[in-house]
Structure formats: C-alpha cells, structure tokens
Structure 1
C-alpha cells in the first residue's frame, strides 16, 4: 500500500479533477454552444427627435445590435469602451445563474475604463424570452447604448404557438432632447428632471417614424421592451389585435388585447396577424398616467400595398388606473406550456410552499442636505468606493454593513447609506412593495424572476393574502406598483450572489431608490456559486489584488 502522504496527494488530485470537470462540463457542454460578440462603444451624433444629440452607439448603431441566442447558450461579449469615461453594461432579466460578478451594475462589477475592453461571459441557463441590455452608469441610459435580447427555446422544446413569419424587437421609451450629461447635471445639482420631450420606437420619433412590413394573412411576433427613463407606455396597432404570449421569459395565457401597457423596464411578446385590408396602419405608443400625454406613431406597412395610413390616430388609455390594474391581473402563466426545460411551467406549485420571511419595501421622496433624493425604507442608496461583491470576495471591511436597511418601512426621514439586506440561500420569501406616493412605480430584481401573486389599492395587511393568486401568477423580473397601492411577490432564493433591487425610474435609481439583496450561504461549493472570473476588473480598494484562476 502506498504511503499515506501519496494517497492523500492522489485524493487531492482526483478531487481537483472532479471539481474542475464539474465546473467546465456545466458551463461548456457540447450542446451548449458559444456565441461571440465584439462591440465597440462610441459617442456619435443622433437625431431621434429631429435635433442633433450626442448618443451612445454600439458598433455605430442606435439602438445597439440585438443579441440572438438559444436556451443555455454561452454568450461571450467583448466590449471595447471608446468613450472618455467609465462604462458598464447590465442585462435586464438575464439571470446570470450563480455569477453576480458579471451582473453589470456597480455593486457587483467594476466599470470598463476609457480605452479598455472587458469580455462578459454569460450563460442564458434555463431561460427563454424577451429581455434587453442597457448601460447602468452615469445616466448613460439617457443617451442610448441599449438593445434587445431574445432567447429562443431549444428545438426539442415545444412552444405554445406556431412559428411566426417574422420576429421583431421594438424598443419603446420616453426621451429628452437634452444630452445625458445635461440631465445628469440637473440631478447632481439636486433637482428633478423635467417632463420628457417625446417617445421613441426603435430610436425614432417624429419626424423619422419607425416602420414594420407585414405580408397579408401572416402572423408576426413583436418583442416589446420599455427602455425609457420613467414613463409607463401603452402600445397598440390601428385595426389589429395583440395576442400576448410571453412576459420576461414566461409563456402566458394567450389573452387578446386591443392595447397593452408596458411599464418602465418591462418586456413582453405579442402575436399580430396581418388580417386587415392591405394598406398602412398606425403603430401608436403613448404615455400613461401623465398630464400632458405624449404620443408617437410608427407605420405598419402591408407588403405590395400603396395605400397610405388614414387618420384619425386610434385613441387608447391615458390616465385610467383601473383599466391597467385589470389588465395586469389578467396576465397569468400558461400552465400547459413548457418553459426552457421539457416540463410544464406550472409544475412548480409555489402556492403550496410556506414562505419563511416577509420583507416590506416602501418608496419615498424627499430632501437630504437640500438636494432631491429617493429612498427605500427611508434609506437612500449611495455607491461605495468598491463594488460590494468584490469587497466580499477580498474580505475588505468597511465597504458596507449587512442589513443596513430595514426589512420593513421605518416611517422616518430619508438618510444616506450603502444599503444591503441579507437573506438566506434557498429561502422562499414574500416581498411586498408599498407605494404611498401618487405616481406609479416599477421595480426590478436582478438575477431572479418572481411570482407576482397580488396587487391592489390601499394599504397592504396580512389579510391581503386572502386575494393572492397561488395557482398561475405570472413569473417575471419586473413589476409595477400603482399609486397609493401595493404589489406582492414570492421569490425562491435559489441564486447566490449580490443582486440589485431597484426602481426602473432611472432618475430615482440614480438618486437612491435601490439597494442590494445579498443571497447568502456559507457554502463554497461550485454548485452554489461560481468563483470570481479570472478576467474580472478590479477597482476601488480591490485594485492591485489577484483573483484565483478558474
């Protein structure tokens, strides 16, 4: 028998081989292909509302190029920052399983310095659906740098509708004629943003309208994302019905609507059939719950038709909250459909699992040191000098405090802190968003999708649970909260990491209405969380340190 030291060395070698194989076999299976992208981020002149502005272009495009992928693909995105300031991309709705290091927000990821590049390595693990990417720093989102993400089902996984004849991305959002630097300066001086100047469809507003071409009798899929800075939008097409089929990665019950509300940060898919008289029709997008109402139009063109669009522009909902609330409640998960895996989406019976914790979150607005700020449970988030995830990895003390934000509203005045709330890995929790303000809110959680189990007006109480949908609530990553109302969600905390929970109203996010949810486990197993990428950028107090190799 070999000596004990040799046997232990052999066992250590075997363990290393097994762990390494488990990591790379999970990431790089033969049926999980790689898709490579090389992007150059630059400034350039754009004219979305007919006025020259400084925009952020990706490979010369505004909006940026779409990402096309299939469930479980590995996305290798090499981003060259040719701006004169740091830049960072985030992936709205892409869950980055076990890898919050590449989430692309400053709490987890160092910015790309000017003149440098960084390669994001993402896997769209067990995901399908419609999402988008955007720049997360320095109010860059107001200049562009965003684009669509579509994740198709694997060929053997059935989709609950026939293949459409075409698949289009429509990025809609409010827009300003001011450059993003001017908007940022307004916020930095402690003021609120003015009302937007217009609405864009795929980077175009009047007089340069966007257009789509359909063939008579065929059905098309439209993936609609609200990439704007704050306003809820209503989308409709003159004379055509919209069949909702997917919301942020979940196949829905296929209800048909005359128009759909798409709130800030949200994405969805509708099917539209070209079943009308061949001619041009208005595509209409207008703001919701605003006075005045902003409206923009595009054109749906029937091929081989020379009949122009005819007035009037079809009207839609504007300030009606009850209409929007009823539509939101009607959006439910299709329990008969498969998701990204070959099993029914409804097989996860979330309504039969007891929640172990309730977190109540209330948004508020106010002044701190004479400047406008926004808060969650009275805490207005301020970025630390080092990404929080790197502080954890390198055991750097003093960057943030765990549970520096309360798990329920305090009712006190707004104060500044780097707010982090810790929760246990594999817990099943309830979060209630309480909106006591008179404007609509929109909330997003990176790294996760959640069940939207209830929403209603007034104050939430424990009795509100009696009206929860515990069977087929929609499973998504962004949800709205109506004025003077609440929305409740259930989340299975199955993704270890540091995850940004934020408003999608970008001025509010910039001025503090966000925090980080730290999903914690003491385990160091690769099954629970990937190690820090060997190409990770290091900044702040983590500068000059060394990461362990993958």
Structure 2
C-alpha cells in the first residue's frame, strides 16, 4: 500500500511538473459558427460563417504557442473543425475528424486546446463533417518561428493569406444529397480567391517591397495553378518545411496543399492580374484577383496570363522542391540534420484507390475497403475499451487482386516508433491528392507507371521535402517515408472531398502498450462523449496517473 501511494505521489508531481514548467504563451479565440448569405460567384447561397466572416479569420501563432479556440455551434446540425497540417502532438482527441472527436451538437460549444509543438509554416482549418467544406468555414493558419530562431529570408513587408479553391453555386446540402443517393457530382462552377470571384480580391503592395504569400488550396477537388502577371515568385516554404529558394513563374497547388512564396513589387507601377486556373480538368476554370501597386497608374486590362497545360511541368516542379538543409526549423538546429535516408524501413504499405458501385450506389475505396463511419469515434472506443466499434486490421497493407469493394470501418494498426514506407498508387486518369493527419512525411519519390522495389533506386534520401499532403499523378505512384512517433488514431484520406465522403479514407492506429503522458496525453477533461461512449464517466488526468509510466 505504501509503495502504491508513493507511486501515486511521484506520478502527480510529474504531471504537475509537466503542466507547470516553462509555460508557453496562450492565444485565445472565441468563434461563433452560423449560416449566412454569401454570393461568391454572383449567385446568393447559404454559406458557413465564423464570427460573420467568409472565409473565417486567420489564426496567427508562434511555435509552441497554446491555442485555445472556443467554438459555438449555432448551426441546426452537428459541426466539427479540423486542422490541415497541424500535427496535434500526442493528442489525436483534438484532431477534429469524426474518427477521433465527437461532433459539437447544435447550440453547444467545444473548446479546442492545442499546442503548436515544434512546428512552423503555412496551414489551414476547415469543417470536416457532412459536406460542410463546400459551404465555407475554412481559414488560414500560420505558425511563425520563435524569436531568435533564424528564418532563411529577410522579414517581408507583409504576410498575406491567399486561400484558393474550386466552388459550387449549389447548396452544400444538395451536393451531399446527390452523394447520398450514390450519384456523381457535376464539375465545380468556378474558382474563389479568398472567398471571392474574378477581380473581387485586391492585394495592395508598395513598390520595391517584398511580400510573403501563404497559398492554400482549400477546394473540393481540383488542382490549381497560381501565377502573377509580370512577376516571378520565390518558393520558400511547404507545409512547415523551408525549401531551397527556387524562382518560379507559376505554381501548381494540389487540393489540400499549402505553400509560401515571396513576391517583390519590382515592376512598373500599375495593376497586375493574379490568375488561378484548374489543372488536369475536363473543364478549364479561371479566376483572377488584382495585385495593386500603391502608385498604380493603370488598371488591369486584356486577358490574364495563361497557365501551363502539360503534366511534365507539374511533375518536374514537384520533383524540384527540396528541403533547405542549411535553414533552421522550429528549433535552433538545422532541419536537415534528420538523416531519414539512413533509417531502416520496417514496413511497406501500398495504397491504391478504387471506384465502384456497391448496393447500387457510387463508392470509393482504399485497398478495396470503403470507409463507413461508426456510431462512436474510434479513438473514444479505443480509449474506453468499447468493443464492436472497429477492428484493427480491417484494411490490409496491400491492394487486393481485382477491383471489388467492401464496406467497413477501416483501421490499420501500426507500432509506435516504427519507420514505414507508404506508396500511393494511382491507377486512374485523374490527379489524386492524399493527406495524413498527425504527421509530416518525407516525399522521397514519384513517377509514372507501376511502383516496384526497383523504384527505390530513384528515391531522394537526402533532402526530400517534409509535408503532410501529396499529389499522385495519373497512372503514377508517389512514395513517402514516415516516422511513426505520434501515438493516436490518425486519418489518411483523399482530399478529393466527394471521394473522401464516399469512403476513400481510413484510420492509422499508432499504438504503444505503455501508457505514458510522454507518449500520449490523457483524454481532455472537456472532451465531448457521444455514441456508445456517452454517459461514461471521464477520469481526471491527475487521478489516472497511477497507471502511467514516467
């Protein structure tokens, strides 16, 4: 008994020390989620507003900041926000997708509590339930380096969020109904820049000054090309990684991806087009914004600059993006010091997407399994040992023979601290985009054709960029390395949102049998409980530390 009490006391002291030591800054936000009237393409429609704004407000933060966002759901249906690229270290409870987090009921609120642990870069947030993403509710999320940590370029005159994405004039509930009936969606109606149509967005610059543009594709399905008339851009960051600073005239941004570029106002004083157009789509859509010099003597005129039309341009550009090994990351050590190419891969996972009709309805799948949401978030079921919600191993490491599709709540098991290779195979004639929550992976290779073990000979094992979203070109493959150092239940999904909604996703359960706050935080005291977890009494974190190992 004395030993147990001593272990409990030591455990409580350890938790208090962890919570109380070296407290990082806090930033507080209160958000009210409502429906409101918007007309981004000139047609009135219902949109999702945050504090009356469309798009939602920017989140400004610094590495290691604690972000507290109190979200009030004033919609007549459940709502959740997720954080594209924010890694949620040791805390998948706050990931904001249904596999991990209970929806916020109508008229209720939930407070997200997150730390920007050892992260920098450009990201965004979005609504993850139903088909809310097609109604708005998204916004930019930037994490700046801490003071004293050098950034590999001079401080820009301005730091500007640029949210681009395809858009439907049709109400999102109608779109969801089409999908629920097992039908395909039509092509989007247009492209938005910061929630507005052609020439409705204006970015003002002063001659001779340099600006940072944080560009995120927050759309539903289309890859987009971004360019500025008469100006070159310098690529400097990709989803938290400083890149080799290459000069480009246009940039392909695939759905779900984020980039930072530097643009210098070094042209004659007038207005210039910012053009965004779809790539690899049957219907070419283009929209424009205006880059306005403060001493402009001429408005925009004539056609906007054309974008690239070929696939090799995009593939070559993607391959040219490399990590800047001489730059610091979120910590004062070179971010290139992590020699990922010398680590032994312990497992290879090959993921292939398929499409087909199941029970008379259109479905999409990963490795033959089309995901169906359970009645209880899997993370809660795992935490509270609720059986029958999911089965680890319900999706295999390799695509099955044939194109058959089964419905299941697909969860793949993985060992904590394993170092794995994931190969995304695209057997279709469209560009795919894939995202992994909770992690950044090393994009080591991509090419046309079918991946084989010989494909590893062309991997970049020195300075591959680290990011959380990657494209896979038509009839091609993309390979990534991932260090599974973040315990939790993490969503792997298609960023083509209709496909994600119809099953092209699954969850990776990164597991360790040792229960320690060094590896994973306990369930938040304010966590919502739903489904079969509803009514379960949560234990306060301090009271369960006698079962934790320090």
Scaled by the length of structure 2, the TM-score of the pair is 0.97
* In structure 2, distance between residues paired with 1:468 and 1:394: 41
- 8 Å contact from structure 1 (residues 23, 526) kept in 2: no
1:504 equivalent in alignment to 2:499: no
- 8 Å contact from structure 1 (residues 101, 389) kept in 2: yes
Match of 1:340 in 2: 330
Match of 2:25 in 1: 33
| Matches for 1:390-405 after TM superposition, within 5 Å | 390-405=380-395
Match of 1:120 in 2: 112
Task: Measure how far apart 1:415 and its partner are.
Answer: 1.0
Match of 1:520 in 2: 511
* In structure 2, distance between residues paired with 1:414 and 1:12: 51
Q: 2:170 aligns with which of 167, 178, 186?
A: 178
- 8 Å contact from structure 1 (residues 405, 420) kept in 2: yes
Q: Residues 368-391 of structure 1, C-alpha deviation per residue, up to 9 Å, x if partnerless?
A: 011100000010000000000000
- 8 Å contact from structure 1 (residues 375, 513) kept in 2: yes
Match of 2:220 in 1: 229
Q: 1:18 aligns with which of 8, 13, 31?
A: 13
- 8 Å contact from structure 1 (residues 377, 411) kept in 2: no
Where structure 1 has 5 or more consecutive residues not aligned to the other structure, the ranges are none
What SS does the aligned partner of 2:313 have?
A: helix
- 8 Å contact from structure 1 (residues 131, 225) kept in 2: yes
1:70 equivalent in alignment to 2:88: no
- What's the Cα RMSD here? 1.0
* In structure 1, distance between residues paired with 2:160 and 2:171: 28
* In structure 2, distance between residues paired with 1:299 and 1:12: 64
Match of 2:73 in 1: 81
| Matches for 1:448-527 after TM superposition, within 5 Å | 448-527=439-518
1:58 equivalent in alignment to 2:50: yes
Task: Measure how far apart 1:35 and its partner are.
Answer: 0.3
Task: Measure how far apart 1:321 and its partner are.
Answer: 1.0
- 8 Å contact from structure 1 (residues 362, 376) kept in 2: yes
Match of 1:541 in 2: 532
Number of aligned residue pairs: give it.
Answer: 540
What SS does the aligned partner of 1:454 have?
A: strand
| Matches for 1:269-418 after TM superposition, within 5 Å | 269-318=260-309, 320-412=310-402, 413-418=404-409
Q: Residues 247-281 of structure 1, C-alpha deviation per residue, up to 9 Å, x if partnerless?
A: 00000000010000000000010000000000000
- 8 Å contact from structure 2 (residues 230, 272) kept in 1: yes
* In structure 1, distance between residues paired with 2:110 and 2:9: 33
1:241 equivalent in alignment to 2:232: yes
* In structure 1, distance between residues paired with 2:531 and 2:18: 29
Task: Measure how far apart 1:25 and its partner are.
Answer: 3.5
- 8 Å contact from structure 2 (residues 187, 283) kept in 1: no
Where structure 2 has 5 or more consecutive residues not aligned to the other structure, the ranges are 542-550
What SS does the aligned partner of 2:245 have?
A: coil
- 8 Å contact from structure 1 (residues 82, 114) kept in 2: yes
Deviation above 3 Å: which 4+ runs of structure 1?
Answer: 7-10
- 8 Å contact from structure 2 (residues 223, 252) kept in 1: yes
- 8 Å contact from structure 1 (residues 38, 79) kept in 2: yes
* In structure 1, distance between residues paired with 2:487 and 2:463: 26
Task: Measure how far apart 1:220 and its partner are.
Answer: 0.1
- 8 Å contact from structure 1 (residues 214, 302) kept in 2: yes
Task: Measure how far apart 1:209 and its partner are.
Answer: 1.6
* In structure 1, distance between residues paired with 2:329 and 2:42: 42
* In structure 1, distance between residues paired with 2:88 and 2:16: 20
* In structure 1, distance between residues paired with 2:278 and 2:5: 66
1:219 equivalent in alignment to 2:210: yes
